[in-house]
Amino acid sequence: MAGQHAGKAWLGICLVSVLTACSQGNGFSDLDKFMADTRAKPRGHVEPLPEFKAYEAFSYSAADRRAPFEPPIDVQLTMVDDEPVSDVEPDLDRPREVLENFGLKNLNMVGTLTDASGGLFALIRDNEGGVHRVRTGNYMGQNYGRIVGISQTRVELIEIVPNGRGGWVERPRFLSLDEDEDEG
């Protein structure tokens, strides 16, 4: 058994010595040539780093002006307003009527009715398909429009709209009979 170990050890020593003898030649000559050629080539040029300018502090010179994200301050007008002050304003305490839920563009006059005493009513269709009977004094439209006159072909009303300066102004409007409505 000791002989087997001695044979294996002897075989290992021989194998290592043979490998060492083979490795001592010019086995890396191609690698050495490549390295020598690479070193002999001209070297590349690397750009120098750019110069950085020192930070210069900025002084805000518009500190006395309005900040751009704040609402503007109300400016008093120097011109005298020549228009007379109107005392027109809508009656906000009265109950709203059904046709005040629709804009005038969504309402159409489709006909008239006369009662037994000769009073004239207008028939108004809303954009939801409902037909409503109105008379002088009723309200319609979203701008407090009060009906002031009804004829066979037209309903006249006065709207009360804001004037843009905190007050109100009256504006005449009308709805005409749409005769082409029945043909379509």
Rank 67-76, 100-109, 170-179 by mean pLDDT and report only the highest.
100-109
Tell me, yes or no, whether 38 lies in a domain: no
- Cα(103)–Cα(139) distance, rounded to whole angstroms? 12
Q: What is the pLDDT of residues 72-108, one digit of tens each?
A: 776 655 555 555 566 788 888 999 999 999 999 999 9
Instruction: Specify the CATH number for the domain of residue 145.
Output: 2.30.30.830
Q: What is the pLDDT of residues 36-62, one digit of tens each?
A: 998 888 888 888 888 888 888 877 777
Tell me, yes or no, whether 33 lies in a domain: no
On average, the pLDDT of the chain sits at: 82
- Cα(48)–Cα(107) distance, rounded to whole angstroms? 78
Residue 170, pLDDT above cutoff 80: yes
Q: What is the pLDDT of residues 25-37, one digit of tens each?
A: 556 788 889 989 9
pTM, entire model: 0.52
More confident call, 134 vs 23: 134
Residues of the chain with pLDDT > 70, as a percent, come to 83
Whole-angstrom CA distances from 176 to 86, 101, 104 are: 29, 20, 11
Tell me, yes or no, whether 27 lies in a domain: no
Tell me, yes or no, whether 68 lies in a domain: no
Tell me, yes or no, whether 19 lies in a domain: no
More confident call, 179 vs 117: 117
Domain count, the chain: 1
Q: Please give the structure tokens belonging to residue 183.
A: 């043909």
Tell me, yes or no, whether 52 lies in a domain: no
Give residue 139's domain range. Answer: 98-176
Tell me, yes or no, whether 91 lies in a domain: no
Which segments of the chain are extended strands (E)? Answer: 108-114, 120-125, 131-134, 139-140, 145-150, 154-162, 168-176
Tell me, yes or no, whether 139 lies in a domain: yes
Q: What is the pLDDT of residue 179?
A: 66
